[in-house]
Copies of this chain bind each other. A is one copy, B any other.
Amino acid sequence: MSAEKAPAESMVFIGKKPVMNYVVACLTSFNSGAKKVVIKARGRAISRAVDTAELLRRSFARDIEIEKIEIGTEEITRSEEQQKSNVSTIEITLVKK
């Protein structure tokens, strides 16, 4: 109980499923005791990450707020062409008040 941090923070990776799936995943994390949920996405899923955070905060859990938003870049290698390319990333940290 003392220095255990693991269950207090969880992560939700945004993919191509409907936004509602990710909203439910975040709510489940908070309801099972997480104080902090980090939503991560890259590329075109970034707008879906923002949708998830906004829907959560505005419609489902008004006691959840955005602590921090960070953007970055990851280098990925496409297997077909063996070429490196950059993809943007976003991390939205949500906390329960």
Give the B-binding residues of A (Cβ under 8 A).
43-47, 50-51, 53-54, 58, 66, 69-73, 86, 88-90, 92
The distance in angstroms between the C-alpha atoms of A92 and B71, with both chains bound, is: 10
In the complex, chain B residues whose CB is within 8 Å of the CB of A44: 44, 47
What are 21 A-B interface contacts by the 8 Å CB criterion? Answer: A43-B47, A44-B44, A44-B47, A46-B46, A46-B47, A46-B50, A47-B47, A47-B88, A50-B71, A50-B88, A50-B89, A50-B90, A51-B88, A54-B73, A54-B86, A54-B88, A66-B71, A69-B69, A69-B70, A69-B71, A71-B92
In the complex, chain B residues whose CB is within 8 Å of the CB of A92: 71
